Amino acid sequence: MAKTSPRSTRGATSPPQATAKARQQAGRIYKTLMKLYPRAHCALHHKNPFQLLASTILSAQCTDERVNMVAPALFKKYPNAATMAKARLGDLEKMVYSTGFYKNKSKSLKGAAQAISSHHGGKVPQNMKQLLQLPGVARKTANVVLGNAFGINEGVVVDTHVGRLSRRLGLTNHQDPKKVEPDLMELFKRETWAMLSHLLIFHGRQVCHARKPLCDQCQLNGQCPKIDVSIK
């Protein structure tokens, strides 16, 4: 069972109070998606919290597929925070080069590993405040780690798929992920927050594509207002 902690939207604006009708609609959407994708999961391959943290840092402006190609060799050489903390930046840069922004990502990986080793006994912290203090970690990354490594529903991961589907489904009218997240937190039950992101991502990749959504094949067709969707 997923853990909970006092609701925090640090880094996100306060949402308006959702109506009972809106919450009921959100619940129906969630149930439909759960039936479609009962095995929805985090696409980043990992064996422990540190690997997930590192992979999530690498995933910025990069596909999960590319990160999963780079990760095995990276974690074979640096299996934990202690070993990565001692890595040479040049070596890290070579290993993560293909993920893009490799210089900044290498600094973030090494910096986060050093902080974890020095201040957290080599273990990834399990709360939002401490995670946000790590180099290279913003709220989205922290949500990924908390929800998937520790089962803690602190917030909702809002990537491009989640943002797009949330607007099309009428769950938010915001573009900024920091404003989309609290809207979703207000509509959906806390225990669903981590899974909600996976469900929307799966649906976005398989059906609700950015340019040509397959509305005629979508199980949410009757529940979706298709906001900003042009169907010919």
Q: What are the chain's domains?
A: 20-40+156-217 (1.10.1670.10), 49-149 (1.10.340.30)
Write the pLDDT tens digit of every residue in 187-215. Answer: 999 999 999 999 999 999 999 999 999 99
Q: What is the pTM of this model?
A: 0.90
Cα 86 to Cα 73, 81, 146, distances in angstroms: 17, 9, 25
Interatomic CA distance for residues 230 and 18, integer angstroms: 27
Interatomic CA distance for residues 166 and 157, integer angstroms: 12
| pLDDT more than 70, % of the chain | 92
Closest CA to 154 of 13, 7, 12: 7
Cα 128 to Cα 52, 193, 205, distances in angstroms: 15, 15, 28
**Cβ atoms within 10 Å, residue 25:** 17
pLDDT at position 20, please? 93
CB–CB of 204/214 below 8 Å? no
Write the pLDDT tens digit of every residue in 102-153. Answer: 999 999 999 999 999 999 999 999 999 999 999 999 999 999 999 999 999 9
Q: What is the mean pLDDT of the chain?
A: 93
pLDDT at position 5, please? 45
Sign of CA dihedral 50, 51, 54, 60: negative
pLDDT at position 35, please? 98
pLDDT at position 81, please? 98
In the block, tokens 């290498």 appear at: 106
pLDDT at position 15, please? 52
- The better pLDDT of the pair 232, 185 is held by 185
pLDDT at position 120, please? 98
- Burial tier of 173 (Cβ tally within 10 Å: 0-12, 13-18, 19+): exposed
Residue 3 has pLDDT above 90, yes or no: no
pLDDT at position 6, please? 43
Write the pLDDT tens digit of every residue in 44-86. Answer: 999 999 999 999 999 999 999 999 999 999 999 999 999 999 9
Mean pLDDT to the nearest integer, 20-33: 96
Interatomic CA distance for residues 58 and 199, integer angstroms: 22
Write the pLDDT tens digit of every residue in 4-18. Answer: 444 444 455 555 577
